Amino acid sequence: MEGQDSLANMRKAVDALASIARQLYEASEDFPAVNRNSKRVLASVEMLKINLEEA
């Protein structure tokens, strides 16, 4: 099993990823290629959150 420090660091990285993906998504209303791809990234980021969710 991953150590607690390692899990905490991964969770931080996922939060940072979510923030950047959200920023891209919100900035791309008139840019479908970026908007739709960043939306998919956000879906993957949610799965990362589920995979690392703290009990």
Partner 1 sequence: MNREVPYWNPYLESLTRDSLERLQLKKFKRILTWAYTNSVFHRTLYQDGGVHPDDINSLDAVRRVPKVEKSMMQPIQRKDPFPYGDALCVDLEDVCVFRQTSGTTGQPVYQPDTWQDWEWWSDCWATLLWAQGYRPSDRVFLPFGYNVFVAFWAAHYASEKIGCETIPGGVLDTKSRILKIQELQATALMATPTYILGMADTARNQLHLDPAALPITKITCAGEPGALIPATKKRMEEAWGAKVYDHAGATEIGAWGFECSSQPGALHVNEAMFLAEVEDLETGMPLTEPGQRGKLIITALDRFAQPCIRFDSKDIVEIGEDRCECGRTYKLFKGGVVGRADDITKVKGVLLAPSAIEDVVRSVQGLGNEYEVIVDKKGDADNITLKVELAEDMADAAMAELKAVLATQLRLKTNLGYNLEFFPLNSLPRYEVKARRFKDLRKKER
DSSP state letters, 1-55: ---HHHHHHHHHHHHHHHHHHHHHHHT-TT-HHHHHHHHHHHHHHHHHHHHH---
Residue 52 CB, shortest distance to partner 1, in Å, is 7
Residue 42 CB, shortest distance to partner 1, in Å, is 8
> What residues line the site for partner 1 (CB under 8 A)?
1-2, 7, 39-40, 42-44, 46-47, 50-55
Residue 25 CB, shortest distance to partner 1, in Å, is 12
**Nearer Cβ to partner 1, position 27 or 39?**
39
